[in-house]
Amino acid sequence: MLVSNVRPTRGAIILVNNRGAGAFASSGFSLLRDKSLTEAPQSYLFAFLKSSFGRTQLKRRCRGSMYPAVTFNDLLDVWVPKPPQNVLKAVHNAVSRGVSLQAQFFQLIEEQALVLEGYLKQFGHPPSPLDGDLTKANWTEILKGDMNSAERCDAEFFRHEYQAFDAQLESAVSTFVLDDYYDLSPGRGLGNGDDTIPFVKQAVLTNAGVNWSAVSYEQGALKSDGNVRPGDILVACTAHEIYYVGRKVDFVREVPEEIAGTNSAVADLMVIRPRPEKPESLHGSFVAAFLRAPSGLHQVQRCIRGLRGGHVYKNDLSKYVRVPLPKQSWLDAFEDRAAAFESVRA
């Protein structure tokens, strides 16, 4: 079992199965190996450390404020109650079921990824802004009017490969740019106030469905139209390193009833919201998956403004990100598989 030493109150703990066996873990984790103690099997210890009773003990032992963390010895210092056998058995059975569903989830999502990869292979993808042949100059001749219409002058944005990909995609299949069917807006954060607001941050994005259990609750006031709704697509639009911009994208299939209409999204998230004219047959699960794939991700990252830290803005993404439109039967099958693995994950 791996337990995150950093911000342990978040409950970042994992039971290692065959999928993760043999991997390396960073020094940000503590490794707990099963000693076959019948009074405290790994399944029970896993559940206890993720409970408020375990997390609160770790929170008390945290060192530091901006970067609160515990040491391995702090973890060993946690008191664990020994429950009756019937409780141990019930916890073990529940955790075992979760592990089994997790294995099913990864199998389904890998199958979905292969289907998408097979479809997008025919188009290829534009280059990553992080890649290029550094042994020579990469130049593209443009007119001053091109710079004025794009309202930017960074040379990377105008690389001819992006224009060539856009033209190739548009000539190969039916396509649309995001502005055709979606409204884009960054989250608005919280206003001044004393209410406890569910705050949707980048941490809830998993690239396989929103992790609603990771929503933060913070003091403030809800701003109008600041809430995440079913049908939205959330994109990580800001990062300290440009590599991470756009790397997390999730489709919001549903919002938990207890936070529906009362949540707010952090400004580091771009909310892509369907307009009424979006075809009902165009499933958000596909658009989100395309934006995660290199064919979409590199279009998003092309729009980055900034060097050390990166941002993408709604006007750029609306105008310059082009999405293919597969046949309806393919889209429907893709949506069925997406709904299946999201259900298993939930």
**pTM for the predicted model, two decimal places:** 0.85
Last residue of a domain, one of 46, 65, 82: 82
What lies within 8 Å, CB to CB, of 23 at 6+ separation is 16
Same domain, 331 and 191: yes
What local confidence, expressed as pLDDT, does residue 105 receive? 92
Asked if the structure places residue 75 within a domain, the reply is yes
188-238 pLDDT tens trace: 888 899 999 999 999 999 999 999 988 989 999 988 766 899 999 999 999
- pLDDT top residue among 92 and 66: 92
CATH code, 237: 3.90.220.20
Asked if the structure places residue 136 within a domain, the reply is no
Please give the C-alpha separations between residue 226 and each of 17, 48, 216, 248, in angstroms, as whole numbers. Answer: 39, 35, 15, 20
Give residue 224's domain range. Answer: 179-345
Average pLDDT over residues 249-257: 95
Asked if the structure places residue 33 within a domain, the reply is yes
Provide the Cα torsion 5, 18, 205, 272; round to 10°.
Answer: 160
DSSP 136: S
Please give the C-alpha separations between residue 286 and each of 5, 120, 222, 229, 327, in angstroms, as whole numbers. Answer: 36, 12, 30, 17, 12
**Does the pLDDT value for residue 342 go beyond 80?**
yes
Q: For residue 174, what pLDDT band results from cuts at 50, 70 and 90?
A: very high
Tokens read off for 247? 């790397």
Same domain, 52 and 184: no
What local confidence, expressed as pLDDT, does residue 148 receive? 87
108-147 pLDDT tens trace: 999 999 999 999 999 999 999 888 777 888 788 888 888 8
Q: Are strands 310-311 and 238-239 parallel, antiparallel or unpaired?
A: antiparallel
Give the CA diameter of the chain.
76
Same domain, 197 and 70: no
Domain count within the chain: 2
Same domain, 75 and 185: no
Asked if the structure places residue 74 within a domain, the reply is yes
- pLDDT top residue among 111 and 346: 111
What local confidence, expressed as pLDDT, does residue 38 receive? 66
What local confidence, expressed as pLDDT, does residue 130 receive? 81
Same domain, 77 and 183: no
Segments in the chain forming alpha helices (H): 42-50, 52-60, 72-76, 85-120, 144-150, 160-172, 178-181, 284-292, 294-302, 314-320, 328-345
105-114 long-range CB contacts below 8 Å, 24 or more apart? Answer: 105/208, 105/341, 105/344, 105/345, 106/19, 108/337, 108/340, 108/341, 108/344, 109/208, 109/341, 111/337, 112/289, 112/334, 112/337, 112/338, 112/341
**Does the pLDDT value for residue 171 go beyond 90?**
yes
